[in-house]
Amino acid sequence: MPAKKDPYSSPSQKALSLYSLLMFTGRSYSLSQLARELHCSKQTVIRMIEQISHSFGGKVESKLESGKRFYWMPCPKVAPKISLRPEEIQQLELCRRMVMHLLPEGVREQVRHTIAKTTTLLSNMNDRDKAFEPVAVAEIKGRIDYSPHQEHITTFIRAIQSKQVCEVTYHAPSNPQAKTYSFAPIKLISYHEALYVTGWRVEDKGTPTPRHSIMLAVHRLKNVTTQARTFDIPMDSGKKAELFGFMDLEKIRVKVKFDKETAAYIREREWSDDQEIQEFKNGNLVLQFTARSMPEVVSWVLGFGAHAMVMEPKELKELIRDEISALAQSYL
């Protein structure tokens, strides 16, 4: 019998999670999206939707759109009465502390005040101190100060929600001067202690037709303003393979050998959905995975020094060799 996709969640817990997702978000979800969110099969989702309709007293609507079945719950006439446990608010506070270094001071305060308001949903207001007892802290080196970009971040959040085209002025490191163009923002992304916004470069006039997808580093933005134009460019809701690297350049299959001193570090982490690990009696291991960016692999491998050796592909080995030679020349 195959292992459960989520062995730590009971059927009743999953049904409650599905009810909460449909009731409290007000959004419609495809069957595939719900299966991914709840870590179960599509058949299980269908059974739980029937259970909600009969047991929870909630009506789940559905529609067929572009060959996909979508589900949602209409807005109830009477708002449901809910309460939170201190542990639930503490989880929100945990998330805030882990990402607050990426946020400008003003946004940090807004988030802090918003989470503080959730204490009104506690069944016992005397438990407020438990909800905000500090349990975590993020230790960051080389952080970026996003305070000068608070207005840019806020503008993007509103533009993403309203699907408004933005006019951005962006200074890429490879260009001597900043450039201004029209941009349809899709999503903010956090990666390696930095914030990025992904979206589409669109035509500067008329219908905002997408020209190509781009990703912008928030700290390199010089100006962001919204336009009157709105865009209707669908997000790719399908699940993509999680591959090594951030920039989506050219996919390569990589094979790297690590000595026993770094083997535990490699073994304990996920580097790619399709990774393969081969371990040896002497403690060494070989990691194979698919990467989407050669420069990022070069930087990553060099970070291990003599503890890592590229085996494949040949062009990656040559790049590593050239970098090591250039580095050696710097210290002569």
Q: Tell me what the mean pLDDT of segment 54-80 comes to.
A: 82
pLDDT digits (tens, 9 = 90+) for 269-296: 999 999 999 999 999 999 999 999 999 9
What is the per-residue pLDDT for 2? 45
Phi, psi of 210 (to 5 degrees): -70, 135
What is the per-residue pLDDT for 298? 95
Cα–Cα distance for residue pair 146/148, rounded to 1 Å? 6
pLDDT digits (tens, 9 = 90+) for 115-153: 999 999 898 888 888 888 888 888 888 889 999 999 999
What is the per-residue pLDDT for 57? 60
Q: Which CATH class is domain 148-230?
A: mainly beta
- Locate the DSSP E strands across 118-262: 164-170, 179-191, 194-202, 210-217, 221-230, 252-258
pLDDT digits (tens, 9 = 90+) for 254-276: 999 999 999 999 999 999 999 99
Residue 220 burial by CB count (10 A; 0-12/13-18/19+): exposed, middle or buried?
middle
Mean pLDDT, the chain, rounded, equals: 88
Cα–Cα distance for residue pair 208/22, rounded to 1 Å? 32
What is the per-residue pLDDT for 37? 87
171 pLDDT more than 60:
yes
DSSP-derived secondary structure letter, 244: B
CATH of 252-330, one of 3.30.519, 3.30.70, 1.10.8, 2.60.120: 3.30.70
Fold of the domain spanning 11-72: Arc Repressor Mutant, subunit A (1.10.10)
Whole-structure pTM value: 0.75
Cα–Cα distance for residue pair 88/136, rounded to 1 Å? 15
What is the per-residue pLDDT for 141? 84
Cα–Cα distance for residue pair 302/304, rounded to 1 Å? 5
SS3 state at 94 = helix
Contact between 231 and 184 (Cβ < 8 Å) = yes
State whether the Cα torsion 192-194-195-200 is positive or negative. Answer: negative
Residues 6+ apart with CB under 8 A from 308: 256, 257, 258, 259, 262, 301
